[in-house]
Amino acid sequence: MSDILIVTEHRRGEIRPVSYELIGCGADLASKTGGDLHVAVISGEVDEMAAAFNRDGVDVIHTVADGDEFNHDIYRQAIAHLVEDVDPRFVITPQSVNGMDYAPAVATDMGVPLVTDAVGISLDGEQLTVTREMYGSKVETTVAVAGERAVITIRAGEWPPIESGGSAEIEVVDIDIDESAIGSTVTGFAEMAAGDVDISEADILVSIGRGIDEEENLDIVHELANTLGATVSASRPIVDAGWLPKNRQVGQSGKTVSPDVYIAIGISGAVQHVAGMKGAKTIIAINNDSNAPIFDIADYGIVDDLFDVVPALTEALA
């Protein structure tokens, strides 16, 4: 019972990059437990994907061919089967939207603790300790997990992906899916409307967050963007409120952008936001809270009230 089982992720025929980070995380843990690293590939073109997952540190790749796209009921049954077979100490999945849709059920089925959104995992003797963030990334906590086993979901971008090839064994797993236990059916996908502009094409983004407070205050942001020849984008709450269309949203569930300059105004820097803009060449943050996590990734910052700085900047540029 020292083995590690990781569950990879794919969507519409493509492997999600977090899968390779899972291998990195799993291989590291397996080296500490002295066990094997098992990789689960469930639904879709499993043979093709298994070949891609044959990377350094992987011992066994299990393929379960049932289903095309992600369905949590199939994942749940497939993982239950593999858990039975492999008897893993830790099951590790991504803290992705789909990971959030099955990992809690896996932990419930196994009757073991669940720790989500890990940014660090350490094993000291028998004691598992997981590092995670709380209060909108303002504090980092370590939690000691009781018992031997656990299900852990990891945050994307925290473990280095494994790139080099390996020599894993591939096992084709045949399971009898219990169709009567499938209570949901995926009928298709929808894509967000392209809208008026493609913010991922912009060289300069003036991006606004909840700090703007009221819809009418957006005027000062548009004025700045006009003066600077920049495009306006936003964090999620601005789009949720309907103040800007969805195609302006930067982040995990919006667009990924990498402009030359990204000016984050009144944006705290939540992980789901940062996922969409950390590739910007120069990041400038304007926020009146010096503890806001956005300053951790910004190159330049101003700790001040945006209602003072933004109009002053427009004026200085004019």
Ligand X SMILES: Cc1cc2nc3c(=O)[nH]c(=O)nc-3n(C[C@H](O)[C@H](O)[C@H](O)COP(=O)(O)OP(=O)(O)OC[C@H]3O[C@@H](n4cnc5c(N)ncnc54)[C@H](O)[C@@H]3O)c2cc1C
User: According to CB under 8 A, which residues from 121 to 160 bind other proteins?
Assistant: 129, 132-147, 150, 153
C-beta closer to other proteins: residue 1 or 241: 241
| Of residues 124-163, those binding ligand X (CB under 6 A) | 136
How many Cβ atoms sit within 10 Å of the Cβ of residue 248? Answer: 23
The answer to whether 40 and 179 are in contact (CB under 8 A) is no
Contacting ligand X (CB under 6 A), which of 87, 140, 198, 289?
289
Residue closer to other proteins, measured from CB, 46 or 285: 285
The separation between the first and the last C-alpha atoms of the chain, rounded to the nearest angstrom, is 67
**x-or-dash string of contact with ligand X, 17-56, rule CB under 6 A:** ----------------------------------------
Residues numbered 234 to 263 that lie near ligand X (CB under 6 A) are: 235-237, 249-254
**C-alpha closest to that of 54 among 168, 189, 215:** 168
Strand partners, 63: 41, 172
Alpha-carbon torsion, ordered 262, 209, 212, 231, to 10 deg:
40
**Structure letter (DSSP) for residue 211:** G
Best CA proximity match to 64, nearest among 52, 48, 53, 75: 75
- What is the nearest approach in angstroms of ligand X to the Cβ of residue 310? 9
**Among the listed residues 47, 165, 178, 300, the single contact to other proteins using CB under 8 A:** 300
Residue nearest to ligand X (CB): 251
> Residue 197 CB, nearest distance to ligand X (Å)?
17
Give the long-range contacts of residues 104-110, CB within 8 A, separation 24 or more.
Answer: 105/72, 105/76, 106/76, 106/79, 106/80, 106/151, 107/150, 107/151, 109/76, 109/79, 109/80, 109/83, 110/83, 110/149, 110/151
DSSP letter at 173 equals -
**Rounded Cα–Cα distance for residues 90 and 166 (Å):** 21
According to the binding rule CB under 6 A, does residue 287 interact with ligand X?
A: yes
Site for ligand X (CB under 6 A): which residue of 47, 87, 178, 305? 305
Tell which one of 187, 196, 214, 216 touches other proteins (CB under 8 A): 187
Quote the CA–CA distance of 61 and 161 in Å, as a whole number.
17
Report the site for ligand X in 78-117 (rule: CB under 6 A): 97
3-class state of residue 240 by DSSP: helix
Give the nearest distance from C-beta 286 to ligand X in angstroms: 6
Interface residue with other proteins among 167, 183, 196, 214 (CB under 8 A) is 183
In the complex with ligand X, the residue whose CB is nearer, 32 or 210, is 210
Find residue 120's DSSP bridge partners.
131
Minimal distance, residue 100 CB to ligand X, in Å: 7
Contact between residue 93 and residue 7 where contact means Cβ atoms under 8 Å apart: yes
The answer to whether the beta carbons of residues 306 and 211 sit under 8 Å apart is yes
**Residue from the set 98, 207, 231, 233 that interacts with other proteins by CB under 8 A:** 98
| Interface with ligand X: number of residues (CB under 6 A) | 28
Q: Which of residues 220-239 bind ligand X (CB under 6 A)?
A: 235-237
Return the residues of window 219-278 that contact other proteins according to CB under 8 A. 228-229, 236-237, 239-242, 246-247, 252-256, 260-261
Residue numbers at the binding site for ligand X (CB under 6 A): 97, 136, 209-211, 235-237, 249-254, 266-268, 270, 272-273, 276, 287-289, 292, 305-307
